[in-house]
Amino acid sequence: MAKDIHEKPFDETTLVKLSVFRDYLREWLPVFIHAKNIYWKTINIVDFFAGPGKDMNNTPGSPQIILSELTAHINMIKSKGIKVNILFNEYKKKKYEDLSAFIEEAKNEFPDFNFEITNLDFKTSYDKWYPNLNQNDCANLIFFDQNGIKHINESVFKEIIKLKHTDFLFFVSSAHARRFCEHKSISKYLKLDKAEIQKTPYYHIHRLIQDYYKNLIPLEEEYYLGRFSLRKGRGNIYGLIFGSGHVLGIEKFLKACWKIDPERGEANYDIDKDEIVPGQIDMFTGEVDKPKKKEEFEINLEKLLLLETLCTDKAIYLHSITNGFLASHASDVIKKMQKEKRIKQFKGNLSSSVCKKGQVLTKVELI
């Protein structure tokens, strides 16, 4: 049985998870509230496993974080006439009662928001709210802070990625999925290949989980997935899976990840066993040591540019984002190649706006 994270103060893993959630929410809200042109009348923020709102030491949980981040945008929401629905579900009765008491007190600060707090199992709450999320004139942010892995099965995942203007973040026990992959309680929800699991290092298991969900996305669908791995002490591996139908969504998620893990943007532990001390100088090259992941990205990007496989700013940007890197990482490679006189001066647009329709693309020119 999964441990209850609210029975004691949040551990480091939970705090990192909530930090990623807060940082992403902080980036997400302005996009849908301060946009020059608003194409949605309603914003839905949904937390299907909300908990009581805080831990035993009053450290904010996801419900408190959501309300705290919304505070700065109240006036803009009102001036633009945007309807905001806050939908919290908590299955455990005592937690639901504590959550209800917290919301009852806090909602006075948000008189124009619609709050709905339910005490339902996941499937019932999901079926209840899905029709409201599946509207063309709404934007959704969905948080699935589940302790198990059974809730985001293939059917639910495929329904979620069909939602318009929707980003989601869900928490999964990757180690549990690995250890019991053949048990029917796991295999009927998460169809992982045993051979792939056996050859995947324990500390890389969350990468395999992401690949599983990635393979569920139809080939013709433009959809972006990101991940962040979490290790509890020296023990189990957990992880966050992020999804968005818009490239700006995955860019903002990656920014939150690289803020926490400036070496790889992927984990709160040394996922590739690089054993690098930040700023450490390689005694042979005289350069600062780089993680393998970063070094491989840079070498591969140089190769693709020289082969002209990637030849426009849009192609470079998408290559970076879909490989878990920021545009700034690609920019560093381009500057290096310019300095070495392998490509001409490049003034392309390495941001999500380069993916907008009608954008004039800038080509990379070799010397």
DSSP string, 270-324: -TT---PPTTPBPTTT-SB---HHHHHHHHHHHHHHHTTSS-BHHHHHHHHHHTT
pTM of the model: 0.88
CB–CB of 294/278 below 8 Å? no
Q: What is the pLDDT of residue 232?
A: 80
Q: Token pair 């904010």 is at which residue?
A: 60
Sign of CA dihedral 85, 168, 295, 299: negative
CB–CB of 243/167 below 8 Å? yes
Nearest to 156 by CA among 213, 207, 239, 219: 213
What's CA 182's distance to the chain center, in Å? 27
Q: What is the pLDDT of residue 205?
A: 79
Least reliable range by pLDDT among 103-107, 130-134, 283-287, 351-355: 283-287
Least reliable range by pLDDT among 192-206, 260-274, 302-316, 331-345: 192-206
Least reliable range by pLDDT among 148-157, 249-258, 263-272, 301-310: 148-157
Q: What is the pLDDT of residue 35?
A: 85
Q: What b/e readout covers 80-92, taking b as 16+ CB neighbours within 10 angstroms?
A: eebebbbbbbbbe
Q: Which residues contact 295 (CB under 8 A, 6 or more apart)?
A: none
Mean pLDDT (whole number) for 280-303: 78
Give the single-character DSSP code of 200. S
List the 166-172 sheet strands across, edge first.
Answer: 114-118, 83-89, 42-47, 138-144, 166-172, 237-244, 224-231
How many other CB atoms sit within 10 Å of the CB of residue 200? 18
Q: Which residues contact 226 (CB under 8 A, 6 or more apart)?
A: 210, 241, 242, 243, 250, 253, 254, 257, 324
CB–CB of 51/6 below 8 Å? yes
Q: Where are the domains of the chain?
A: 12-260, 274-367
Residues of the chain with pLDDT > 90, as a percent, come to 68
Q: Is the pLDDT score of 44 beyond 50?
A: yes
Q: Is the pLDDT score of 202 beyond 60?
A: yes
Q: Is the pLDDT score of 45 beyond 50?
A: yes
pLDDT band at 1 (very low <50, low <70, confident <90, very high): very low
Q: Is the pLDDT score of 42 beyond 50?
A: yes
Q: Is 117 helix (H, G, I), strand (E, B) or coil?
A: strand
Residues of the chain with pLDDT > 70, as a percent, come to 87
Q: Is 224 helix (H, G, I), strand (E, B) or coil?
A: strand
Q: How far apart are CA 100 and CA 104, in angstroms?
A: 6
Nearest to 359 by CA among 343, 345, 344, 348: 348
Q: Which CATH class is domain 12-260?
A: alpha beta
Longest dimension (CA), the chain: 68
Q: What is the 3-state secondary structure (H, E, C) of 47-92?
A: ECCCCCCECCCCCECHHHHHHHHHHHHHHHHHHCCCEEEEEEECCC
